[in-house]
Amino acid sequence: MAVSVTTRASRRTLERGPSGWLAAPALVFFLLFAIIPLFGVLFLSFTRWDGLGEITLDGLSSWTTVLTDPITGNALLVTAKIMFFSFIVQAPISLLLGVFTAAGQKYRAALAVLYFVPLLLSSAAVAIAFKALLDPNFGLGPGLGLPLLTQDWLGNSDLVLFVVVFVIAWQFVPFHTLIYQGGVRQIPTSLYEAAQIDGAGRIQQFFSITLPQLKYTIITSSTLMVVGSLAYFDLIFVLTAGGPGYATRLLPLHMYLTGFKANDMGAASALGVILVVIGLVLALLLQRLGGKNRNDSQLEGA
């Protein structure tokens, strides 16, 4: 008797999910640290404030300043370029590395640890290290006497964007590799065994089993990559400070410099709102790609 009651109760819990109260702490923090400040920023975008004195309501003037400023357009373009190239470079590399390191051999485990090292360093440290290495007068190139490496990597407006993309990839490929490694290890080995019996080769296994099974992992990783590039701030701030000129001044950096260097909190808040909207739209679009049943288990029927 007692046993059947528990079973019924736990089945009901399964159907309805856990109690809504479990979400309460997260909701409270989200409200306190995300929603309320968000409205604060929205309010500030309609004011004029230099960060020190009085906050005065100023209608749409901050918005007109921001939207008519060519530097904003340029910042958007730079952000889009960094987002695009980061994705193009990071996604295939981390997918392949993830698949490679998912297998069990010892040397792969050792390599996985090695690949993981860049993620352990803080962005500021990575930026300072690369800044020193890429210095055209004291860096790696002149130090080793290699003319090929002796470029003005960070001072050349045409090169600098790709240098930034490279450094970002160096730091974040390990993270995405880890996600893919986890994803590949979730794929039941029975699928591969069946494929082998049917005579499928390694490449066919990769395209017919691994890639489709990784669909949701790919979406997760891509979302993090794309939305994450809206937040590449610290690395670029230390590495190039947005320069030379405006060549690497992407939107978050533009927002920071407007707010804390030019002391125009109104315009910076307007930029912040734009940033939030772009982030939300991108995240929603990528989630759509996953289809309606993205939260269902991939293991069913395996």
Partner 1 sequence: MFNRKLRSTALAAALTLSLAACGSSGPANVSADSPSMWALTGGNQANFQASVDAWNKSHTDQSIKLDFFANDAYKTKVRTAIGAGEGPTFIYGWGGGVLKSYVDAGQIEDLTDFIAENPEVKDRYLPSIIKNGQVDGKIYALPNNNVQPVVLYYNKDLFDKIGAQPPKTWDELMALVPKFKEAGVAPFSLGGQSKWPDLMWLEYLVDRIGGPDVFNNIAANKPDAWSDPAVLESLTKIQDLVNAGGFINGFSSIAADSNADQALLYTGKAAMVLHGGWIYQGMKKDAPDFTRGGKLGFTTFPTVEGGKGDPANIVGNPSNFWSVSSKATDSQKAAALEYIKKGMFTDADTQTLIDSGAVPVVTGIESKLDASPDKEFLNFAYGLAKDAPNFQLSWDQALSPAQGDAMLANLDQIFLNKITPEQFVATMNATIGK
Which member of 264, 266, 268, 270 binds partner 1 (CB under 8 A)? 264
* Between 63 and 153, CB nearer to partner 1: 153
Task: Look up residue 34 and give its two tokens.
Answer: 């995300």
In the chain, where do the E strands start and end? 47-48, 56-57
Please report whether residue 138 would count as binding partner 1 according to CB under 8 A.
Answer: yes
Stretch that binds partner 1, among 1-9, 103-111, 148-156, 193-201 (CB under 8 A): 148-156
Q: Which two tokens stand for residue 185?
A: 């290890």
Q: According to the binding rule CB under 8 A, does residue 152 interact with partner 1?
A: yes
- For residues 191 and 265, give the distance between their C-alpha atoms in angstroms, rounded to a whole number: 56
Which distant-in-sequence residues (6+ apart) come within 8 Å of 228 by Cβ? 172
- Rounded to the nearest whole angstrom, what is the least distance from the CB of residue 267 to partner 1 in the complex? 10
Contact window for partner 1 (CB under 8 A) among 61-69, 74-82, 215-223, 258-266:
258-266
Cβ-based nearer residue to partner 1, 156 or 298: 156
Nearest residue (CB) to partner 1, 119 versus 234: 234
The least CB distance from residue 265 to partner 1, in Å, is 9
Q: How far is the CB of 245 from partner 1 (least distance, A)?
A: 5
Burial of 298 (0-12, 13-18, 19+ CB in 10 A): middle
Q: What angle do CA 201, 202, 203 make, to 5 degrees?
A: 95
| Residue 94 interacts with partner 1 (CB under 8 A): yes or no | no
User: 239 to each of 72, 164, 228, 243, how far by Cα in Å?
Assistant: 21, 8, 18, 9
Least distance to partner 1 from the beta carbon of 240, Å?
Answer: 7
182 binds partner 1 (CB under 8 A): no
Q: Does 260 bind partner 1 (CB under 8 A)?
A: yes
Assess contact for 121 and 167: CB atoms under 8 A: no
Q: Using CB under 8 A, which of 31, 35, 37, 51 touches partner 1? A: 51
Q: Is 136 in the site for partner 1 (CB under 8 A)?
A: yes
Q: How far is the CB of 241 from partner 1 (least distance, A)?
A: 6
Distance CA 97, CA 101 (A): 6
Dihedral sign (CA 135, 136, 137, 138): positive
Q: Does 245 bind partner 1 (CB under 8 A)?
A: yes
Find where tokens 């974040």 sit: 172
Length of the chain, in residues: 302
The residue (of 58 and 206) whose beta carbon lies closer to partner 1 is: 58
Q: Which is nearer to partner 1, 174 or 242 (CB)?
A: 242
CA 175/CA 19 separation, integer angstroms: 33
CB of 6 to partner 1, least distance (A): 29
Q: Which of 137, 189, 293, 297 binds partner 1 (CB under 8 A)?
A: 137
Judged by CB under 8 A, the number of residues near partner 1 is 27
End-to-end Cα, the chain, rounded Å: 35
User: How many Å apart are CA 230 and CA 80, to the nearest integer?
Assistant: 9
Contacts with partner 1 by CB under 8 A lie at 50-53, 131, 134-138, 152-155, 157, 160, 240-241, 243-245, 257, 260-264
